[in-house]
Amino acid sequence: MPSRSLTQLRRPVARVPGRPGVLALLLRRPAGWISLALLVLLYGASFLGPLLDHHSATATHPLHALLGPSWLHPLGTDDLGRDELLRMLYGGRVSLSVGLISMVVALVAGLLVGGLAGYLRGAVETILMRLVDAFMAIPAFFLILAELAVFGSSPPVVILVVGLSFWGQMARVVFAESLKMRQREFIEAAQALGASRTRVFFRHLLPQVVPSAIVLGTLGVGWSILTEAALSFLGLGIQPPLASWGNMLQNAQVYVWTSPWLAIYPGLAIALAVLAFNLLGNALRDVLDPRIR
Amino acid sequence: MKRELLGPLVLLASSLALPALARAQATSTLTFATNADPTFNPWSPNAEVESDLINELIFEGLTRYGSNLQPVPALATRWSVSKNGLVWTFHLRKGVTWQNGRPFTSKDVVFTFNDIALNKKLGANFASDYAPVSQVKAVGPYEVQFLLKTPFSALPSYLAYFEGILPASSFAGVKNPWTLSSFDKQHPIGTGPYQLDKFVPGSYVELRRNDHYWGGKPQVRTILFKIIPNANTQVAEMLSGGLDLISLQNTALLGPLKSDPNLQIIRSQENLYYWVALNQNDPRFRNVLVRRALLLAINRPAIIKSLLGGYGQVATGPIAPLQKAIYDPKVAQYPYDPTLAKKLLAEAGWLPGPNGRLEKGGKPFTITMPTGQFGQLVPMSELVQNYWKAIGIDVQLKVTDWNTYIKQVVVDRRYQATLAWWSTPPTPDIGPYYASSAAVTGSNIPNYRSAKLDALLAAGQDARTPAQEKAAYAKVQEFVASQLPYLYLWYPDILVVKSKRIGGMSDVNLPEAFQHSVNWTVR
Amino acid sequence: MLGYLSRRLLQGILVMFLVSAATFFLINLAPGGPSSLMNLNSTAQQRAALEQQLGLNRPIFLRYLNWLGAALQGRLGNSLSQGEPVAPLLAQRLRHTALLAGTALLLVFIFGVALGIWSARKRGRPIDHLVGLVSTLGMSLPEFWLGTLLIMLFSVRLHFLPASGMLTVGAPWSLSDLLVHLLMPALVLSFVLLPNVVRFARSALLEVMEADYVRTARSKGLRERAVLLRHALRNAWIPIIAMLGLILPQLLSGSVVVESVFAWPGMGRLAVQAAMNRDYPVIMATTVLAAAIVILTNILIDLLYSLVDPRVVHA
């Protein structure tokens, strides 16, 4: 059966001494440095920005609600009179963390399950990969809806649920890669030299499949930021008073007529962050897999 | 109660795609909208706000609301109460036929109450409103008697509140009326001015006028209800030229509609008030000083000005100003005064600790406050949280989806404070929400128990004359305003935006207007 | 071949069983209950009566077995919030979703493959970068945000397209009416999916363009167009078909949000409402149906593979 994945990746070119590193290669391409710069800006502003302002992001001032931009409030205020810029920065902390951490969850789960299935094959493969099939057969959204209804919408749950809805795709890519890798000379050589299976798996096989998984994972961060936003749109994501770009967008829905900026800022921020991750993912793929450009 | 959303109702007069046809229809068709698939049986637990107004067009109660919201004749022409207050007699209208041609008689009334409303196995909507009724008895084909366990002066008013009579013959031999989809989804039969023509789930409901309506032939030939769940989409449809009437859930949506010269904005009133419940199972909140302090700490006019866009007024109790004859504004008031709030809390033993947080016996004052996603409950709760924080109380807001919230707050009563609302019939009877018997299992959400209030409520139900009623409920209002079983927040206006094309529709509120649809015209 | 097919089907059935069990236990463990019980003004007595009627007071394991037994006989039960049988409800909603998703898919394939080929042929040139950027941008926009913006522009400002629904209520059915309602939701849905298809078509084409037989054809002196149509495209179809299997779950998920924004009476909206209302039979039916669609499509695609490309042999 042919393996299929969102990003059909081939084995990355092993690093040759003397050739520039991944980061250097990335910085040579416009998509690479633009996206990296954008991400540094977004993460930097979200995590460092609020430190400059001692105001509380949750303190409400109903009599100063829905103000337009001014020197005091560069992006205006929201429906409860909170500074919109500060909310955006705090919301960024949450949205950007949810995106990144949930993808780490998917990466770890995908690497372990896909890698083990591809390396050990046999019954392990059948069980693990059918499990992946089951997960993949439920459209992610339906699964997430059910899970959030059960476990509630606290940030750790949202992170876990979003991450686990992506791990199947990750596992399939890693599985396909591992299948190819295990045939290769260096794995066979390591086994012939008497290395334990655990050692071969973690020291020899996994490092070879990690780059492909990282490319998929980078694209996946954007996907999970979007997913959190969509969940919040349906009222199931991160819950107020904690701000996230997703729930800010949802909260802004009734104000699109009178205070459209409340919907435009978080929408733009989401689009920018996701765009940056997508560009970075594409650039990474080009760097790690230079055959197709 | 869910009935706040009465309004996701939208009138769409014509189509965009086919202007010629639409113009032809414009004289004879009104198109409304609702936010979900309706259930055409007002008593069905599946019939909620999305069904209420549609059912008012198809079904009729024994009474309906007059322009001052007093019960006036509908299927009953007159009624009287026995001297001991325990037997109400209703004389039924003669010559009324069901929409399938069969005659309407006392059998139908007896069936609707004894077999549906009072049948404990069914759990019908409004069942808890009829706790004082033991049974309904037919006295000949055109007279029924309600036999009561305790006096029930509010009965005629309750009968007008969405409580349509069902045709007994349609339910003959039916074990579970809630799964009879041939009736409540396909062929409902009422006595009202409109009957169901077609229902396409997820899409629209089409009603056509009942040519044999006892009150005369309605002037508007067809009424369509479009099913539109999203409030913004409803406004967009309205602005894109099609809609004639919309009831707004949020005053922010008013902005784009205000400037349209074809529309008029009506500030209608319902008996609707928002409150904060403080769980009386928690000993901290049994102290009335604490309850008063927590209300004093909330700047209600500021919240009304911002979140309600100024459309509302500070609530003084459970009886809203629209009950003009009963409403008493001269009760204890709690204007925003954080200093006084802190003083009262100090009297109750809550003193500021080293970090400014209130504490008593070394224990900090923290409140867990669950909130459900519904309307503006979340932002309202966030504001209350911040006002309480400002006097040194740590409030943990826990936001969940509506369903989970109900389970936690209403079913399990697992909360310390919570913000919600009651929308009740325009009757001063507040027993279902305040009586000790309704604590824990009923709608007495704060689990407030007071023998004195129970006695005052019983006296109100036993009133025989308007003067007696006014006097009895003045005492009730005075008591609840001073003891605060709930912290009263505000009476919001229900904003209805309607096209100037519609004529003959009263502006009191939509439930009342829909009971008089026979008078509507299209200009 | 037959052996392969039956094995795949068998595995598919096993997966469906897993999906149904997981979903059933998940949703029944969720706090809350059917919306007829979970009502701000319902009393304990009303709730007890309804629980009894709906059989919700029986052990969960027993209820699952009951559901499974009935489902195997094709009975999906009654919707708890509608009181109606689930099967016809679902059939109707599925038709509407199929119409929306099918249109979006068609748009996505026409434009996606065309853009992909164009982009591949202009590889490295500004056009290639532009297509890449625009499609990446499409992937980055939240679809509900895009939908709201489109409604504000085309329905509210320009009065050009209807804001919601599938047909004009009260007007006789007409194709043009359906199409104007279909346009915005289908566009939003396809815009979100477009990037994947563009990128996929592009890389699939590039890959075969570098294959030996294409080089041979080229070296024979065939014109570029002939090479592209006769050799490269034929082989590039395989991964493009494979793409369908990948974007199908995305398409179903995307339709959940898009249907909510545009009030499209489809399965996605039904699923969200069912989740909010804890309408257990409807949640079960929509989830299992969505899973079945995905599984069957994947099997079909694998079969198609072997038809398009005889070199792929299923043992």
What is the average pLDDT across B150-163? Answer: 92
- Determine, yes or no, domain membership for C304: yes
Give me B451's structure tokens: 């023998």
Q: Give the containing element (helix H, strand E) for A113.
A: helix A84-120
* Nearest chain B residue to C83, by CA: B179
pLDDT score at B93 = 96
- List the single residue in C30, C242, C294 with the smallest CB-CB distance to A149: C30
- Determine, yes or no, domain membership for C104: yes
Selected residues 208-237 of chain B with any CB under 8 Å from a CB in chain C: 222, 224, 226-230, 232-233, 236-237
Query: Is the separation of the CB atoms in B400 and A153 below 8 Å?
Result: yes
* Total number of domains in chain C: 1
**Percent of chain B beyond pLDDT 70?**
94
What is the average pLDDT across A15-36? Answer: 75
Three-point CA angle C17, C21, C23, nearest 5°: 115
Q: What is the CATH number of the domain that holds B428?
A: 3.10.105.10
- Show the 3-state SS of B157-206: HHCCCCCCCCCHHHHCCCCCHHHCHHHHHHCCCCCCCEEEEEEECCCEEE
Does B123 touch chain C if contact means CB atoms closer than 8 Å? yes
Q: List all residues 6 or more positions away from B428 whose beta carbon is below 8 Å from its beta carbon.
A: B154, B319, B323, B326, B460, B469, B473, B476
pLDDT score at A139 = 63
Three-point CA angle B58, B272, B449, nearest 5°: 115
Neighbours of chain B (3+ CB pairs under 8 A): A, C
Residue contact A152–B400, C-beta within 8 A: yes
Does B27 touch chain C if contact means CB atoms closer than 8 Å? no
* Nearest chain B residue to A59, by CA: B386
- Determine, yes or no, domain membership for C278: yes
* Nearest chain B residue to C275, by CA: B403
* CA separation for the pair B430, C41 (Å, rounded): 13
Q: Give the containing element (helix H, strand E) for B256.
A: helix B254-258
* CA separation for the pair A3, C245 (Å, rounded): 12
Give me C293's structure tokens: 């669609």
Three-point CA angle B116, B122, B128, nearest 5°: 75
What band does A11 get if pLDDT is binned at 50, 70 and 90? very low
Min mean pLDDT across B247-251, B400-404, B518-522, C193-197 is at C193-197
Three-state secondary structure call for residue B398: strand
Most confident of A182-191, B1-10, B341-350: B341-350
Structural domain that includes position C216: 86-308
Query: C178: burial class by Cβ within 10 Å (0-12, 13-18, 19+)?
Result: middle
Structural domain that includes position B394: 272-492
Q: List all residues 6 or more positions away from C23 whose beta carbon is below 8 Å from its beta carbon.
A: A138, A146, C283, C284, C287, C288
A4 CB neighbours in chain C (<8 A) are: 242, 245-246
- List the single residue in C18, C145, C275 with the smallest CB-CB distance to A149: C275
DSSP-assigned beta bridge partners for residue B502: B522
The order of strands in the sheet holding B194-200 is B29-34, B222-227, B204-209, B194-200
* CA separation for the pair A82, A86 (Å, rounded): 8
Q: What is the CATH number of the domain that holds C215?
A: 1.10.3720.10
Task: Please give the class, per CATH, of domain A28-46+82-288.
Answer: mainly alpha
Does B443 touch chain C if contact means CB atoms closer than 8 Å? yes
* Nearest chain A residue to B387, by CA: A60
Residue contact C263–B179, C-beta within 8 A: no
Q: In a mutagenesis test of the A interface, which of C17, C128, C139, C145 is the best target, namely the one with the most A β-carbons within 10 Å?
A: C145
Residue contact A62–B235, C-beta within 8 A: no
pLDDT digits (tens, 9 = 90+) for C216-266: 776 777 676 776 666 666 666 766 677 777 777 778 777 888 888 887 888
Neighbours of chain A (3+ CB pairs under 8 A): B, C
A154 CB neighbours in chain C (<8 A) are: none
Tally of CB atoms within 10 A around C172: 9
pLDDT digits (tens, 9 = 90+) for C255-310: 888 888 887 888 888 888 888 888 999 989 988 888 888 888 878 877 776 676 66
* CA separation for the pair C113, C203 (Å, rounded): 11
Tally of CB atoms within 10 A around B146: 25
pLDDT digits (tens, 9 = 90+) for B274-303: 999 999 999 999 999 999 999 999 999 999
Identify the residue with better confidence: C231 or C22: C22
* CA separation for the pair C158, C161 (Å, rounded): 8
pLDDT score at A145 = 66
Query: Is the separation of the CB atoms in B391 and B418 below 8 Å?
Result: no
Task: Give the total residue count for chain A.
Answer: 293
- Determine, yes or no, domain membership for B107: no
C207 CB neighbours in chain A (<8 A) are: 292
pLDDT score at B301 = 96
Task: Give the total residue count for chain B.
Answer: 523
DSSP structure class, residue B310: T
pLDDT score at B12 = 31
pLDDT digits (tens, 9 = 90+) for B350-395: 999 888 899 998 899 999 999 998 889 999 999 999 999 999 999 9
Selected residues 38-97 of chain C with any CB under 8 Å from a CB in chain B: 38-50, 52-53, 78, 81-85, 89, 92-93, 96
- Determine, yes or no, domain membership for C56: no
Tally of CB atoms within 10 A around C251: 25
Query: Is the separation of the CB atoms in C93 and C54 below 8 Å?
Result: no
* CA separation for the pair B89, B136 (Å, rounded): 10
Q: How many CB pairs under 8 A join A and B?
A: 68
Query: Is the separation of the CB atoms in B117 and B393 below 8 Å?
Result: no
Identify the residue with better confidence: C206 or B509: B509
- Show the 3-state SS of A239-258: CCCCCCHHHHHHHHHHHCCC
Residue contact A257–B401, C-beta within 8 A: no
Measured in angstroms, the CA of A81 and the nearest CA of chain B are apart by: 9
Three-state secondary structure call for residue B125: coil
Does A160 touch chain C if contact means CB atoms closer than 8 Å? no
Tally of CB atoms within 10 A around B500: 12
- Determine, yes or no, domain membership for B24: no
- Determine, yes or no, domain membership for C63: no
* Nearest chain A residue to C134, by CA: A275
pLDDT score at C201 = 80
* Nearest chain C residue to A151, by CA: C30
Selected residues 51-70 of chain C with any CB under 8 Å from a CB in chain A: none
Three-point CA angle B256, B262, B265, nearest 5°: 60
Does ipTM exceed 0.95? no
* CA separation for the pair C121, C142 (Å, rounded): 30
Three-point CA angle B73, B272, B195, nearest 5°: 45
pLDDT, averaged across chain C: 81
B234 CB neighbours in chain A (<8 A) are: none
* Nearest chain B residue to C152, by CA: B236
- Determine, yes or no, domain membership for B426: yes
pLDDT digits (tens, 9 = 90+) for C142-175: 888 888 788 777 876 677 777 777 777 656 677 8
* Total number of domains in chain B: 1
Q: In a mutagenesis test of the C interface, which of B115, B230, B259 is the best target, namely the one with the most C β-carbons within 10 Å?
A: B230
- Determine, yes or no, domain membership for C9: no
What band does B27 get if pLDDT is binned at 50, 70 and 90? low
